[in-house]
Structure formats: structure tokens, C-alpha cells
Amino acid sequence: MADDQAPKMKTCPCCGKETLQEVPEPAEQLTQHYIACIATGVPFNYTYALYDGAISVTISNLSTADSAVLQRNIPRLKVMNKECGYKLDEDMVGALDAQFDIYSIIQSIQIGSSGKAYSPKDNVMACLGLVDKAFSEAAKGEYRDVLETVYGRMTDVELLSAVPFAVLSGVVAAHFRVYDVLVNYGFDENFWGRIRLA
């Protein structure tokens, strides 16, 4: 997509959070990309350039299957925590909730200067896979180790990048504003039904 058609981001001078400069009208290439996502059944995704292109963050809406994984296993993690005597305190569980919410839709983070690439969503799904396995097998003796591993992985900048969480939260919020604009312009899940009736 051409730079002049990309949603424009700006950096807050106080907190460093990246937010949309303005809610864009859907440019032709953006709407074509969105329609292609609908047509192929791929969740809507978009790559946002931060800090003049120094960092690229690709956000992808959750698929139905991914949503089911989160909805099934985050409550299981909390049950496991309770059953092993609260290995994770309330603040740690709250932090994990926020991290799962944001990192589960961040497909990739690319750092231009170092060439490093991170896959936060893959890390989230791997962590929830550990929870699913331990809970499904009722392996209560492993709960503490699984919780420790999950918390360690979800706070490891080597796996998730050192991009501040507030910056990533701003990009996710911006992504959903772009998505809402597209839906408001008539590109919702009923789009193809209306085309057939036209």
C-alpha cells in the first residue's frame, strides 16, 4: 500500500504511545485488501509503521479458532492458579490478562535497525497450549511449573520484543479504529450477501 494511503500514526510526546493521527477514510487499496481478507476467509490484518518506519507491527484480527483457544484456556489458567495455591498473585494474573489480550493479535514485530523479528501471537498460543495440555490431563502436579513457564514467556522481551506495552496497545487500538471505519463504510460480514442481492 502506498504511504500516502496508509493510516497516519503519531507519537505522543508525553508517553511515547503511538496513536492514529486521524481516523482515515478507507483508501482504495485498504478496502481492496480488506475485501480480499473477507473473500479468502483470512482475518483482516495490516502492518503499521512506527517511528518513521523503525518498527513495523502487523496486527491480525483473531480467527474463530484463535478466539476459542483464548476463551477456553485463560479461565483454565486461573483455575490452575487457584488449585496450586495462587502461584501467581492478583497483579501477575491481571498483567497476563492484558498481555494475552494485546499480544494475541500481534502477528509480528520487526525492528528495522537490528533486523530482529518477533512473533508475539505464536508465543501466546504456545503458552496457552501448555495450559490446555496440563489442564486437560489434570496434571495438577505440573500446574506450578506451567504457570511459572507461562508467566516467564509472557514477560520475556527476547520473545515479545522490548517495544513498550503502551505503544503496542496504541497500535492495537488504532487497528480496531481502522477496522470500525471499514465496517461503517459497509464492508461488514453482510457485504457479500448484499452483493449477491444487487
Domain residue limits, the chain: 25-189
Residue at grid coordinates 457485504: 191
Kind and range of the H or E run holding 48: strand 45-50
**Which one of 37-46, 156-165, 170-179, 185-194 scores highest in mean pLDDT?**
156-165
How far, in whole angstroms, is CA 55 from its chain's centroid?
A: 16
**How is residue 92 written as a grid cell?**
501477575
Is residue 12 very low, low, confident or very high in pLDDT (cuts 50, 70, 90)? low
**Residue 4 DSSP class:** G
Average pLDDT score, the chain = 83
Beta-carbon contacts of 196 under 8 Å, excluding residues fewer than 6 positions away, are: none
Which position has the grid cell 493479535? 105
State in Å, rounded, how far the first CA of the chain is from the last one.
29
Q: Shortest CA distance to 117 belongs to which of 58, 63, 165, 173? A: 58
Out of 48-52, 77-81, 104-108, 153-157, least confident range: 48-52
Q: Which residue has the higher pLDDT, 188 or 113?
A: 113
